[in-house]
């Protein structure tokens, strides 16, 4: 990024402008570009896709009217929300109320600084990348707490309180699960972690040893909880708290919360991909990998697909599971996930001691285990489709 701007300055662009100003302008331009051309459509399309996937799992159709298959539904919703009246309750703490959605949004959007898109495509490859990511996502809790408190609504307050307790607790298993990988990779940089893995699944950290395999699921669960997703969506819990901390919000402010929520899904997937699934690693394909542009494109696609797979899984989990209760949420975190992540961390550390370079045989075995689980799963799906339901739908007249 910096190198690119330096090159531009050397070539005579921006002549006369102070160097710092050029850097600042470049940063803003990149942020703007990422926001409008990547994050906004991504969050929007995720929202549409979630509704479609959800609907199909429930034997419904979902939004299919705006654009082909309804893919422009998010634009229609966005415009609608922009045109809505912006209501601030009379007794609300107006400053905090107005600020809260942006704090939540910043907490989510700042993560895109360190999220890699491809081998050379990253805003800033910080050497403390993953630590930075864990830190800025904690900013979300401040925003949610502000929203819950400032709305001056009891449901909002309960939602905000729940959210604070939940996010703070689940940072620990998430952090410990991440620590496994940091231990193996020996670096906090996102690109560094990816570079330590290979393109083949048995070179991924997911199958590095049994502990990282468990750690992956721990991380994913904890990340769902941090992102307030079902089964951990208790801060919103529409059947209990009406809408939780967003009860009093309307229009664009309301949209910002959901913008952050849906965008955050991609962040979860991207981090999981970076840490466990080999990131943008692609095998060396003759002719293709010689071109930088083609390589970058292919890497981007691979990374995006891997990340989006987990977005899909998050949607799917949401369509399947009931919500846990607030005390169960805490006991799940402190009694099950935190001890398990410590076990994983310890296991990985011991593993590192025994096989500092990793054990290829075990990795391959873990990979086969993963395939076995997948096969088992599709056997169940097959049973479900072929045997469990003799007849699809009964339609007396149609």
Partner 1 sequence: MEALAGYLKNIVQTVTTIFEGMAITFSHLVRRPMTIQYPDRIEKPVQETLPLRYRGILEVDLDICTGCLACERVCPISCITIGIDTNKETKQRFFSHFDIDICKCMYCGLCAEACPTGSIRHSQEFEGACYNPAGLVRHFVTKPVPLYKPKKGGETDPQMALKVEIGQKYLDEFATPEKSGGAGAEEG
Partner 2 sequence: MNETHLDTQDIFRTEDMTISMGPQHPSTHGVLRFIVKTDGEVMREAVPDVGYLHRSIEKIGEKVTWHGFVPYTDRADYLAAMFANQGFCMAAEKLGHVEVTRRGEFCRVIACELNRIASHLISVGTFGQDIGAVTPFLHALRERESINDLMEQICGARLTYNYIRIGGVGYDITRATCDRIAAFLDHFEPIVDEYNRLLSYNKIFIERLAHVAPITLEDALQYNLVGPNLRACGLKWDIRRDIPYSVYPELEFDVPVGLGEKGTLGDCYDRYWVRVREMQESCKILRQCLKMLPDGPAIAKVPRRFKPPAGEVYVRVESARGDMGFYVVSDGSEYPYRVRIRTGSFTAMSIIEKISRGLMVADLIALIASLDVDAPEIDR
Q: From CA 191, how far away is CA 188, in angstroms rounded?
A: 9
For residue 118, give both structure tokens: 């491809």
- Is 158 a binding residue for partner 2 by CB under 8 A? The answer is yes
- Interactions with partner 2, residue window 48-77 (CB under 8 A): 54, 57-60
Cα distances (Å, whole numbers) of residue 84 to 46, 87, 91, 249, 343: 22, 9, 20, 11, 50
For residue 59, give both structure tokens: 């034997």
- Is 364 a binding residue for partner 1 by CB under 8 A? The answer is no
- Is 204 a binding residue for partner 2 by CB under 8 A? The answer is no
Kindly indicate which of the ranges 20-28, 55-63, 163-171, 176-184 contains the residues binding partner 1, using the contact rule CB under 8 A.
Answer: 55-63
Q: Which of 34, 33, 9 is nearest to 21 (CA)?
A: 9
392 DSSP 8-state letter: S
For residue 193, give both structure tokens: 């972690």
Cα distances (Å, whole numbers) of residue 46 to 235, 237, 310: 21, 20, 12
Contact 275, 189 (CB under 8 A): no
- Is 11 a binding residue for partner 2 by CB under 8 A? The answer is no
Binding partner at 385 among partner 2, partner 1, none, C-beta below 5 to 8 Å by kind: partner 1
- Is 319 a binding residue for partner 1 by CB under 8 A? The answer is yes
Q: From CA 57, how far away is CA 270, in angstroms rounded?
A: 24
Least distance CB 81 / partner 2 (angstroms): 21
Least distance CB 59 / partner 2 (angstroms): 5
Kindly indicate which of the ranges 54-62, 85-93, 141-149, 353-361 contains the residues binding partner 1, using the contact rule CB under 8 A.
Answer: 54-62
Kindly indicate which of the ranges 290-298, 300-308, 313-321, 362-370 contains the residues binding partner 2, using the contact rule CB under 8 A.
Answer: 313-321
Q: Which CB, 153 or 363, lies closer to partner 2?
A: 153
Q: Which of 364, 188, 193 is nearest to 278 (CA)?
A: 193
CA-atom Rg of the chain in angstroms: 23
Kindly indicate which of the ranges 174-182, 276-284, 343-351, 381-389 contains the residues binding partner 1, using the contact rule CB under 8 A.
Answer: 381-389
Contact 355, 208 (CB under 8 A): no
Q: From CA 106, how far away is CA 263, in angstroms rounded?
A: 12
- Is 15 a binding residue for partner 2 by CB under 8 A? The answer is no
Q: From CA 92, how far away is CA 146, in angstroms rounded?
A: 11
For residue 287, give both structure tokens: 């002719």
Q: How many helices (H) and strands (E) in the chain?
A: 15, 0
Q: Which CB, 232 or 351, lies closer to partner 2?
A: 232
- Is 56 a binding residue for partner 1 by CB under 8 A? The answer is yes
In the set 1, 27, 55, 142, which binds partner 1 (CB under 8 A)? 55
Number of residues forming the site for partner 1 (CB under 8 A): 24
Q: Which CB, 11 or 391, lies closer to partner 1?
A: 391
Binding partner at 291 among partner 2, partner 1, none, C-beta below 5 to 8 Å by kind: none
- Is 380 a binding residue for partner 1 by CB under 8 A? The answer is yes
Chain residues that interact with partner 2, rule: CB under 8 A? 54, 57-60, 154-155, 158, 161-162, 230-231, 233-234, 237-242, 319-328, 384, 388-391, 393-397
């Amino acid at each position: 990024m910096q190198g690119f701007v330096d090159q531009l300055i050397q070539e005579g662009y921006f002549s006369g402008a102070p160097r710092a100003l050029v850097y600042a302008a470049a940063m803003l331009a990149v942020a703007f570009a990422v926001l409008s051309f990547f994050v906004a459509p991504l969050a929007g399309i995720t929202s549409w896709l979630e509704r479609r996937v959800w609907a199909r799992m429930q034997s419904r159709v979902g939004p299919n009217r705006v654009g082909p298959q309804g893919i422009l539904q998010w634009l229609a919703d966005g415009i609608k929300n922009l045109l809505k009246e912006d209501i601030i309750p009379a007794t609300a703490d107006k400053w905090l109320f107005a600020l809260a959605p942006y704090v939540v949004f910043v907490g989510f959007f700042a993560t895109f600084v360190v999220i890699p898109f491809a081998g050379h495509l990253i805003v800033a490859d910080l050497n403390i990348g993953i630590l930075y990511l864990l830190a800025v996502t904690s900013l979300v809790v401040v925003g949610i707490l502000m929203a819950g408190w400032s709305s001056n609504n009891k449901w909002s307050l309960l939602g905000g309180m729940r959210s604070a307790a939940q996010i703070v607790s689940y940072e620990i298993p998430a952090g410990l699960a991440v620590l496994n990988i940091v231990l193996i990779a020996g670096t906090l940089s996102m690109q560094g972690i990816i570079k330590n893995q290979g393109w083949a699944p048995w070179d991924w950290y997911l199958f590095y040893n049994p502990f990282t395999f468990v750690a992956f699921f721990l991380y994913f669960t904890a990340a769902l909880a941090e992102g307030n997703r079902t089964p951990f969506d208790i801060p919103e819990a529409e059947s209990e708290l009406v809408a939780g901390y967003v009860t009093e919000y309307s229009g664009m402010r309301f949209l910002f919360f959901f913008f952050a929520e849906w965008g955050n899904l991609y962040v979860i997937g991207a981090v999981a991909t970076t840490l466990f699934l080999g990131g943008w690693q692609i095998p060396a394909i003759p002719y293709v990998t010689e071109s930088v542009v083609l390589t970058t494109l292919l890497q981007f696609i691979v990374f995006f697909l891997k990340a989006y797979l987990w977005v899909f899984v998050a949607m799917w989990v949401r369509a399947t599971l009931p919500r846990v209760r607030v005390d169960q949420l805490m006991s799940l975190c402190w009694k099950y996930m935190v001890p398990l992540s410590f076990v994983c961390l310890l296991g990985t550390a011991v593993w590192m001691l025994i096989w500092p370079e990793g054990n290829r045989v075990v990795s391959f075995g873990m990979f086969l285990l993963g395939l076995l689980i997948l096969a088992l799963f599709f056997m169940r799906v097959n049973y479900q489709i072929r045997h469990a339901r003799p007849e699809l739908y009964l339609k007396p007249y149609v």
